[in-house]
Amino acid sequence: MGITEKIAALAVAFIAATGYSGVFVLMVLESMVFPVPSEAVMPFAGFLIVDGKMTWTGVIIASTFGSIVGSTISYYIGYYGGKPFIDKFGKYLLLNNHHLEISEHFFQKRGEITIFIARFVPVVRHLISIPAGFSKMNLFKFIIFTTVGAAIWNTFLTWVGFILRENWEEVMSYSHTIDLVIVAVLGVGGLYYLIKIIQHLRK
């Protein structure tokens, strides 16, 4: 079994074992400042839909509700903390004030619609709720835009997993190439994390 198959098997096994509650918790973390990408969660939920172990309705409700809860927690972090929180805990989450500044820039340019668009932008979606809270954005509007954006994004990623599962044999015909890409990504990610640790220790 190649790396791709092993990762897929582990991810599917974890989500299958934890069920909808696992999807919910992972998406709560994804919508906060934790480095849990939805791209590594939702497609495997799509796998389980094909296998008949989950339903479209259950997956979308659990994931979107998780996104709402996580985003709302981040909103209140921004409302009461904001930059001090990132200054204190960001280094443990591979985040810094530069990432927060990017999110603030997004928010200041378009305001409410940015909450919707941010759901589709890596890193920004982890942080955009903080400047929303910091700016005291109307909570009702914040939740509405978050819900719509998260529902669309989560549905899309689940659909991608659904399609991949149905064509898994064809996908695996390219598994060697996929494995090399995964190794390269993990290597770059590990090097980046190591550099960050060294920089922090030097400071």
* Token digits of residue 7: 């990762």
Residue 49: the pLDDT is 92
Q: What is the pLDDT along the chain (203 residues), one digit of tens a residue?
A: 555 566 667 777 888 888 999 999 989 988 887 767 787 788 888 889 998 999 999 999 999 999 999 999 988 888 887 667 666 666 555 555 665 666 666 666 666 777 888 788 777 777 778 878 877 788 998 999 999 999 999 999 899 889 988 775 665 555 556 556 656 766 776 676 667 666 666 66
> b/e map of 140-176 (b: 16 or more CB within 10 Å)?
eebeebbbebbbebbbebbeebbebbeeeeebeeeee
Residue 22, both tokens: 């696992």
Report if pTM > 0.85: no
pLDDT of residue 133: 83
Q: Exposed e or buried b for every residue in 72-100, given b needs 16+ CB within 10 A?
A: bebbebbbebbbebbeeebeeeebeeebb
Q: What is the rounded distance in angstroms from the CA atom of residue 150 to the CA atom of residue 48?
A: 20
Tokens 């973390």, residue located: 29
pLDDT, residue 96, reads 59
- The domain segmentation of the chain, as residue ranges, is 3-169, 173-203
Whole-angstrom distance, CA of residue 19 vs CA of residue 24: 9
16, 53 Cβ separation under 8 angstroms: yes
